[in-house]
Homo-oligomer: A and B are copies of this chain.
Amino acid sequence: MNKLDTSKTFLIVGLGLLGGCYAMALKRQGYTVYAVTKEQADIDYALEAGLIDGGSTAVEQELLDKADILVFALYPHTFVEWIRQYGDRIKDGSLLTDVTGVKGCLVYEIQAMLKPGVEFIAAHPMAGREVSGVRNSDDAIFRDANYIVVPTENNTFGAIELCKELGKVLGFARVSVLNPEKHDEMIAFLSQLTHCIAVSLMCANDNPGLVFYTGDSFRDLTRIANINDEMWSELFLSNREALLREMEKYRNTFDHLVQCVKNNDREEMRSMMRISTERRAAFNRKYND
């Protein structure tokens, strides 16, 4: 497979929020898109909304034979289970990719399970919403967002290039490449640690009156405190070592700030605030937020 021309047919496996966003973006670009998912109601909705050309709650051989590119939008353990069960039925020459939030624990295992002639190139679209389900899909979340291609040494150059092209076709603002270990380290800090912080903050205070006194800073910081416990506990434990390292680094920095307040060390406190402001500015310039 050389190029992502619109003769290609996609099969989305798992039609939740992200699967739906992929379908929406791909249909918009003129591709043929099918879906396999658990609930018939989600297939019905996606057909009616024009997100897919067809779909099924069963893994039909006909769909697997049509698909050139399969996009897996499943929980990590469900993804592995799916490949174990249906991997041998995937058409020769197909390319597999995914949206999973952890990589090291998953990518090598999946690649080892696949038959020759079928390649898995991992990817992580850094976009989401605080609501779930295909009914909340909106590919506008890809605009201004980052897309990370996560190859291993087993991946072919062609698959890596095609996956980068997919990120652009989907409408992402920037496409990057990281190996699984670097990806997991980055994600432990940028995504998992931030969710740990938001959850801890909400659990640290049970005063029901807070809502009458809050400002925007608290609302922004805790937006992600509305969290899918099934998915995120799996993501945390799938990336346990890297997450623990980032939690430790952050906690040491927070402790340093506690000491500054304890010691009335205004100069050191201001120095931390200046570092913080300067580093945050890089995020502003590129993304206008």
Residues of A within 8 A of B (CB): 126-128, 145-146, 148, 174, 176, 178, 183, 186-187, 189-191, 193-230, 232-234, 236-237, 240, 243-244, 246-258, 261-262, 264, 266, 269-270, 272-277, 279-284, 286-287, 289
A146 and B283 contact, CB distance less than 8 A: no
- Tell me which residues across on chain B come within 8 A of A198, comparing CB atoms: 217, 221, 276
- Tell me which residues across on chain B come within 8 A of A248, comparing CB atoms: 258
Kindly report which residue of chain B lies nearest to residue A213, judged by CB atoms: B186
A270 and B233 contact, CB distance less than 8 A: yes
Given A202-B279, A204-B253, A225-B279, are A211 and B286 neighbors across the interface (CB < 8 Å)?
A: yes
- Tell me which residues across on chain B come within 8 A of A280, comparing CB atoms: 202, 222-223, 225-226
Given A190-B214, A225-B277, A273-B199, are A266 and B237 neighbors across the interface (CB < 8 Å)?
A: yes
A237 and B251 contact, CB distance less than 8 A: no
Q: Which of B148, B204, B236, B257 contacts A199 (CB 8 A)?
A: B257
Kindly report which residue of chain B lies nearest to residue A178, judged by CB atoms: B213
- Tell me which residues across on chain B come within 8 A of A210, comparing CB atoms: 186, 189-190, 283
Given A211-B286, A257-B200, are A205 and B226 neighbors across the interface (CB < 8 Å)?
A: no
Q: List 23 A-B contacts (CB under 8 A).
A: A126-B214, A128-B217, A146-B214, A183-B213, A186-B209, A190-B217, A191-B218, A197-B201, A197-B221, A198-B276, A199-B276, A203-B275, A204-B252, A205-B246, A208-B282, A211-B282, A218-B283, A219-B283, A219-B289, A234-B266, A237-B264, A248-B258, A251-B258
B214 and A254 contact, CB distance less than 8 A: no
CA distance A210 to B127 in the complex (A): 15
Q: Which of B191, B209, B226 contacts A284 (CB 8 A)?
A: B226
- Tell me which residues across on chain B come within 8 A of A197, comparing CB atoms: 197, 201, 221, 254
Given A199-B272, A217-B191, A276-B227, are A237 and B250 neighbors across the interface (CB < 8 Å)?
A: no
B191 and A273 contact, CB distance less than 8 A: no
A200 and B253 contact, CB distance less than 8 A: yes
CA distance A136 to B232 in the complex (A): 39
CA distance A244 to B269 in the complex (A): 14
- Tell me which residues across on chain B come within 8 A of A261, comparing CB atoms: 236-237, 240, 243-244, 247
Kindly report which residue of chain B lies nearest to residue A208, judged by CB atoms: B282
- Tell me which residues across on chain B come within 8 A of A213, comparing CB atoms: 126, 146, 148, 176, 178, 183, 186-187, 190
Q: Which of B220, B227, B253 contacts A221 (CB 8 A)?
A: B220
B186 and A194 contact, CB distance less than 8 A: no
Given A128-B216, A146-B212, A148-B213, are A244 and B224 neighbors across the interface (CB < 8 Å)?
A: no
> How far does the Cβ of A17 sit from chain B's closest Cβ, in whole Å?
14
